[in-house]
Each structure stands twice: as C-alpha cells, then as structure tokens.
Amino acid sequence: MSGISTLLREYDVLGAFWVTIQLTLWGALGALLLGTVVAVCRVSPVGVLQRAGTWFVTLVRNTPLTLIVALCALGVSNTLKISLAPPDSPTFIVDNGFRWGVVALAVYHASFVAEALRSGINTVPTGQAEAARSIGLGFGATLRHVVLPQAFRGAIAPLGNTLIALTKNTTVVATVGVAEAAYLMRNMIEFNPSLLYFIFIVMAAGFVVLTLPVGLLFTWLSNRLAVRR
C-alpha cells in the first residue's frame, strides 16, 4: 500500500493527463480548421482543389500517425531546424515538442474530419437543394437554410468518433518524448515494475474517464439531432 502512495506522490499522474487533455483540445481545434478547409476543397466544383483534397486525405489517412509524428518532430523540427517556440526560452524543448505533436495530431486527424464533414454533406439528398433552388433560394440561402443544417447533423457522429480517436492517439506523441500519459506510464513501470498492474489500471481508467463521456455526449447529440428521412 505504501508503495502506491509513494508512487502517486513521486509521479504527477494528473499533470500528465492534463498534457493529454491539452494535446487533445489543441489537436482537435487544428484538425477541425484544417479538416474544414480540406472538406471545402473536396466538395468544391473546382477540379484542382478537389484533386488536392483527395490527395491529402489519401496520403495522410494511409500513413501511420507514428510516422507523421516522427516526420514532424524529428524531421521538420530537428533536421530542418524549424521550431515552433522561441529558441531562447527556458522551456524551449518542452514547448517545441508539444507544439509539433499538436501539429502532427492536427494534420493526421484533419483527414478524418474532412471525411466526416463530407459524409455529412453526402447524407443530404440532392432533391433538398433542388427543391430549395426551385422555390427561388440563391446559393448562400440554400446552403445556410437547407443544406448545411442537415449536413452538420449528419456529421456529428463521425466527428465524435474522430474526437475519441484523437484523445487516444495523443499517446503516440510519447514516441518523441512529450510527457503525456503513456510516457509517464512507461517511466512509472520502468522504475516500479512491481506495481505494473496497478499502474496500467489507473492509466487505462484515466482514458476511460476521458473518452466515455465524449462518446455518450456525441451518441446522444447525433440521436437527438438526427434528420428523420
């Protein structure tokens, strides 16, 4: 018992999960922005942008996140010396690693966000837009009053799944040394192998606590807002 209390005193479990939460939130924000741009490109009537969007999604979705994280943190940051934090700040290494981790997470999940948004738009039958045009609504009004409200509702469930996947995938940035939950777990086990099972249960339970409410919320939302057809 005393081993457990010293373990929890020595290692900042809550702090590590706070890093996980920050990675999730910033990563989700970046993925939403970039994913929206990509989705707009993919559904635009301009061939060049469509092809660029399709290429982005195909390339990113088929690459392991671990590889993207390595490319960002080791390739672009260390080799090309492009840093995302002021190099003279005392927390440079931590900040730079964290920010490149966020960039990698955002780029990787942007492809899933783009697919979620596009599948949301695809759930709207063409007849809806045709009906809107035939009663005289212009492009903007059709989009604002008819198509997008239905499209967003259709995209809620896949967006929720992407957010849950993102939360779990934040652990991957541990591979380049960002001190989040999986990194801490590894350190804790390395130095306290006798408490292996306890450590795993605690850290795994942390992720259940993080992802379960999000899953319940998005399931409830998508059922509540579902467009009955």
Partner 1 sequence: MSAQASVLFDAPGPRARVRYRIIAVVGAIVLLAMLAYFVVRLADPANNQLTAEKWLPFLTPTAWTAYLLPGLLGTLVAAAISVALSIVFGLLLGIGRLVEQRWIRWACGAFVEFFRSVPVLMMMLFAYYAGLYGLRISGTALPLFGVVVGLTVYNSCVLAELVRSGVNALPAGQRESGLAIGLTPLQTLTTILLPQAITAMLPSMLSQLVVILKDSALGSMISYLELLRSGSYLATAFANLIPTLIVLAVIYILINSALTRVAGAVEQRLRRGPRGVVTRPVTAGFVPEPAAEPDVPPTIMPPRDDRPGRRR
Other CB atoms within 10 Å distance of the CB of residue 128: 16
Single out the residue of 14, 5, 27, 6 nearest to residue 184, CA to CA: 14
What SS3 state is found at 113? helix
Size of the site for partner 1 (CB under 8 A): 77
105 binds partner 1 (CB under 8 A): no
Among the listed residues 1, 5, 126, 224, the single contact to partner 1 using CB under 8 A: 126
Among the listed residues 59, 141, 217, 226, the single contact to partner 1 using CB under 8 A: 59
What Cα–Cα distance (Å) separates residue 176 from each residue in 8, 158, 199? Answer: 24, 29, 22
Among the listed residues 22, 36, 50, 83, the single contact to partner 1 using CB under 8 A: 50
DSSP 71: I
Q: Footprint of partner 1 on residues 154-193 (CB under 8 A)?
A: 154, 157-158, 161-162, 164-165, 168-172, 174-175, 181-182, 185-186, 189, 193
121 binds partner 1 (CB under 8 A): yes
Find all residues with CB under 8 Å of 27, minimum gap 6, and list them. Answer: 101, 102, 105, 106, 109, 166, 170
Among the listed residues 18, 92, 191, 200, the single contact to partner 1 using CB under 8 A: 200
Nearer to partner 1, 196 or 217 (CB): 196
64 binds partner 1 (CB under 8 A): yes
Nearer to partner 1, 90 or 180 (CB): 180
Smallest distance from partner 1 to CB 92, Å: 19
φ, ψ of residue 62 to 5 degrees: the values are -95, 5
